[in-house]
Structure 1
């Protein structure tokens, strides 16, 4: 069970256990979904309309983009930026789940609200994601730039990217795109956790088979659906973030088509609306939804598996429940 529940197996786990489960979940999930992330970033940064009839558009469809990237950059390109992405996922998973479990426990013990309620899960999920986002934003910026660059590369590797960004653009450049990220992350993560909890209850009501109810398949299915719903509702802010993160990095984007510079979040939104239309706010939605489905589904899936594994190792004779 994600979130504090005195009747849950995970109630017996320590903060270190929860951080370990969150980190391990992030690590495994990131390795599996990295190609979707690269595709999503490439689509989000393309100014030109996605159409085979537009000769200036480098990418105009999912399959065409996969073939194009493979042809020009080979298979490793789908894992560009993987080192900072893994550091991001491990750190984010640890901070988010530790914060979420702490906040839901605080609500359970200090208020009359049900810690498993939709509203509580929403706000605790949003706040925990804010803490995790601030912790990993520099890694997210580096990951975006490494995944966005073509050939020849501007940054040779992760260390070179850190040095170049710091020397050429300053320390604050690592936090580019933080404003739209924080604006979007509260509803996005809030919906993830609250929809996940709600969908698990709905799943138990719809699915008659007891085996299907207790298996890990439920965690993956409900997590995937929660990820798709959350991403669809908050997607434009993710696009704003990616556009702002590559500011000052335009030379590496020259081979991909037009580039834009933005003075901030509002200017970014206005330019996209003016130059790309309403559909511009949802560029890259298809690979993003695929990524969200797998990423969120596997994140909850692996987190609950690792929690159960750690509990079984620590308490082979049964769960040690905490007083609530």
Structure 2
């Protein structure tokens, strides 16, 4: 189970960072198509209905078919290089910070490091730390996933140079405010609900009765459920972040329908409410929930698996070192 446990945890902060990086890398490869779909829906101004003639995408299957026909299979991995930098960096910082914070809380305060409230606070703080560290890469990922044909950015280097020259360094941190506001409760809820579901599963099926593969499946299911709950509760802030991140990028969005320019977070909220209604804040929710279920489940699954492998390697090395 993630979080500091003096009786069971055997990974250091550095090993937690390594496991988090590996988890992020493997997960990103598998969920990239869902991420592209989510971003396309989030950035579409028109109503998500086949009765709306201006809407390019009406549903998940229709969007998949249209993207494949117009842009080819590789379109589902647009922005994959910056997305991998994002996942590897984010996973490393988040899990290293989370393990360190839960250990600090356990050692310095009277709170148990395995408590769900501690997981909420430490998970939120760890995610905020990771977000600030990788925000420029997240902005690049969003722009690559958002652009159609012909491409505005031809490579990661070209994108960085163009954004810096035309929009300045602040462009890389667009959408940071709603990101920070959203990521704390989102990640906090992820970790706390994962912890709650893990404890519930232990109550239903004691650990001694579970086989190894059953524990892995349990981690996947608990992570998926935690991802769905946390994403649903914090989704509007994720949409606001995406809208703000593509500011100044309107010409690349022209092929997808209407575009808007937002002066800031409050102006973005106002325009969406006036033009798209309350439902506008939940555009792309279906692919987003699908992505959240898959990605969060896989992240916790791979993280727990890599931590278990590291612990196993350390336990096998210890006797050899003692004999030497």
Give me the TM-score of the superposition, normalised by structure 2: 0.95
SS at match of 2:58: coil
Match for residue 322 of structure 1? none
Q: Tell me how far apart the structure 2 counterparts of residues 65 and 207 of structure 1 sit (CA, whole Å).
A: 41
Give me the TM-score of the superposition, normalised by structure 1: 0.95
Match for residue 153 of structure 1? 151
Tell me if structure 2 keeps the 8 A contact 1:212–1:218: no
- Cα 1:298–1:318 change in 2 (3 A) is farther
Tell me if structure 2 keeps the 8 A contact 1:23–1:91: yes
Deviations 1:13-47 (A, max 9, x none): 22221111000000000000000000000000000
Q: CA RMSD in A?
A: 1.4
Match of 1:182 among 180, 183, 191: 180
Match for residue 266 of structure 1? 266
- Cα 1:212–1:59 change in 2 (3 A) is farther
Match for residue 76 of structure 2? 78
Q: Tell me how far apart the structure 2 counterparts of residues 111 and 218 of structure 1 sit (CA, whole Å).
A: 30
Q: Which stretch of structure 1 is more off in the superposition, 306-315 or 34-43?
A: 306-315
SS at match of 1:12: coil
Q: Tell me how far apart the structure 1 counterparts of residues 64 and 144 of structure 2 sit (CA, whole Å).
A: 17
Q: Which stretch of structure 1 is more off in the superposition, 158-167 or 142-151?
A: 158-167
1:292-303 equivalences under 5 Å are: 292-303=292-303
Q: Tell me how far apart the structure 2 counterparts of residues 144 and 69 of structure 1 sit (CA, whole Å).
A: 16
Match for residue 217 of structure 2? 217
Shift of 1:207: 4.3
Q: Which stretch of structure 1 is more off in the superposition, 119-128 or 200-209?
A: 200-209
Tell me if structure 2 keeps the 8 A contact 1:312–1:318: no
Return structure 1 stretches of 4+ with deviation > 4 angstroms.
none
1:243-282 equivalences under 5 Å are: 243-282=243-282
Question: Any stretches of 5+ residues in structure 1 without a counterpart?
Answer: 320-324
Match for residue 241 of structure 1? 241
SS at match of 1:216: helix
Match for residue 287 of structure 2? 287
Q: Tell me how far apart the structure 1 counterparts of residues 211 and 57 of structure 2 sit (CA, whole Å).
A: 40
Q: Tell me how far apart the structure 2 counterparts of residues 248 and 282 of structure 1 sit (CA, whole Å).
A: 23
Match of 2:46 among 45, 48, 52: 48
Deviations 1:159-194 (A, max 9, x none): 111111111101111000000000011100000000
Match for residue 112 of structure 2? 114
Q: Tell me how far apart the structure 1 counterparts of residues 315 and 200 of structure 2 sit (CA, whole Å).
A: 31
Match of 2:95 among 97, 100, 112: 97
- Cα 1:208–1:16 change in 2 (3 A) is closer
